[in-house]
A and B are shown apart, each in its own frame.
Chain A
């Protein structure tokens, strides 16, 4: 059986090589009329042409546009190997999460990266999961967007909007949030990952880490609303090249970037993404 499988693979590899399957990149294009993948038409928008030409030049291959009706159809075609790259949302990504992955999102102008947020409670306390904190008090640490708006979004992504909790304490900084927790004024602290790291990793190794008695109930990045998705069977080198071409696009080719990121409001730059960026992971 193993020999049979190897032989089949060999045949398929030879066939694939003969067909030259790696000489094209097929990109989903949502529009009114679905159809087969084809080179970009002469009537394409200047920004679209700039994007396709940019990718073709940097990858050294043909780039085809694949008209699909909507994101769900794009996801289905991507999973089936009928195209190679698509912009998906959480709803279209979820059914194909086992065979695809996010590679890029867009950071809006003036916004943060999708930085992780940590929610922690006293290890000896009763809360063992997020649900146990319904009706409880959360302490936030700091006045920056990373300290307030971002943690709130991460919790909301997971169904824990502000109305789920009894109250939020806005401390001046992470240390203040921890003081509130230790004083029993709050049931949990919510910090962005860098604030947590600074708070919990004392510079002096002789000092006991102040977070040793805490239990992390959640560490997660905000869920992406949209992301560029590829199949998981794409090679790492190809994925890195796609990321490496997109990351500086806003600096190298403004027209291409404007078109390629037009699905994201106030786009500033492409940002790499973890495989499950479109999922509200716990």
Chain B
């Protein structure tokens, strides 16, 4: 690289690349899920596509799927090279192909967290102050398919020796985080399980259904109290096929990791939270979700009973 300074004047930037790992590769295929109706999501896809294409020097082809399962199957079958997926989705891929897929990046939020929490919430005027006090009281879950509003808290209840099917007087599904807050406020449940993020149990939370509704003046935060939390539950990941060239994986990781620092305005335009950034992860970051998924699969096969 000794002639770099001179060569740069000729308009040619110096590459530290030995050989060309691109030989025989015509394009990089990336799976994405979600609705085209969300303009921020569409913009995010386009931004990732353009950045990765520029960084890697190959076209990035998007494989769009209307549901999570489409992305999971595309990754598991090797139809795509990388994908962005939630922890539960990656756990499903892991169950199918193991080490052939690996998470490489997840978001680290401004306050430092790389996940979110399940929070057991009661009304502030409630005499219930702990999970022990909840025995014989009613509880509202979010949804049967909710990780933070059902899957994780039930698993954590069991870890603490509580059978979630018999411990509470009544349980039912609110249908969503917002509905769970309203049902709790209206006295429909003695407590509700909600997602909480933007902080931790020590410092408090700044995001989640309660905070969103409080900002919209629909509820007052002072009317509620968190009495128990479970988490953090790992956020979604960039997942790559490990049988692809290592230089490609390194370049993807670096290009995506540098994005919030290189282009802070674009980072906000595509709907990311200011102050957030990517951090490296491995399978280990998702081991709890993988274990929950395995337990779920076992239950579905009738080995552990239905929750």
Contacts and interface: CB of A to CB of B under 8 A. Distances in A.
A272 interface: yes
Nearest to B264: A116
A60 B250 CA distance: 12
Given A81-B1, A115-B110, A194-B276, 19 more contacts: A9-B9, A9-B10, A59-B16, A81-B4, A103-B258, A113-B277, A194-B109, A194-B206, A195-B110, A198-B198, A198-B215, A233-B5, A236-B13, A236-B54, A236-B55, A247-B105, A247-B279, A251-B280, A274-B264
Contact of B216 (A16, A192, A202): A202
A198 B207 contact: yes
Interface string B1-25: 1111111111111111111000000
A41 B39 CA distance: 55
B206 A195 contact: yes
A71 interface: no
Contacts of B264: 116, 274
A197 interface: yes
A103 B262 CA distance: 10
Interface string B49-76: 0000011110000000000000000000
A267 to B, nearest CB: 14
B268 interface: yes
Interface stretch (A20-28, A42-50, A163-171, A180-188): A20-28
Contacts of A207: 216
Interface string B272-283: 011111111110
Given A239-B254, A244-B251, A234 B16 contact: yes
B43 interface: no
Given A13-B12, A202-B216, A242-B254, A112 B111 contact: yes
A249 B277 CA distance: 17
Contact of B215 (A203, A239, A277): A203
A91 interface: no
Which residue, of A5, A12, A144, has the highest number of chain B Cβ atoms within 10 A?
A: A144
A245 B262 CA distance: 18
A206 to B, nearest CB: 10
B160 interface: no
Interface of B: 1-19, 54-57, 104-105, 108-112, 198-199, 203-204, 206-207, 212, 215-216, 246-247, 249-255, 257-258, 260-262, 264, 268, 273-282
Contact of A115 (B253, B254, B275, B278): B275
Interface of A: 5, 8-9, 12-13, 15-16, 19, 21-26, 58-61, 80-82, 84, 99, 103, 111-113, 115-116, 142-144, 146, 173, 192-198, 202-204, 207, 231, 233-245, 247-248, 250-251, 269, 271-274, 277
B257 A272 contact: yes
B18 A22 contact: yes
Contacts of B204: 143-144
B16 A25 contact: yes
Contacts of B6: 12, 81
A244 B249 contact: yes
Contacts of A245: 250, 254
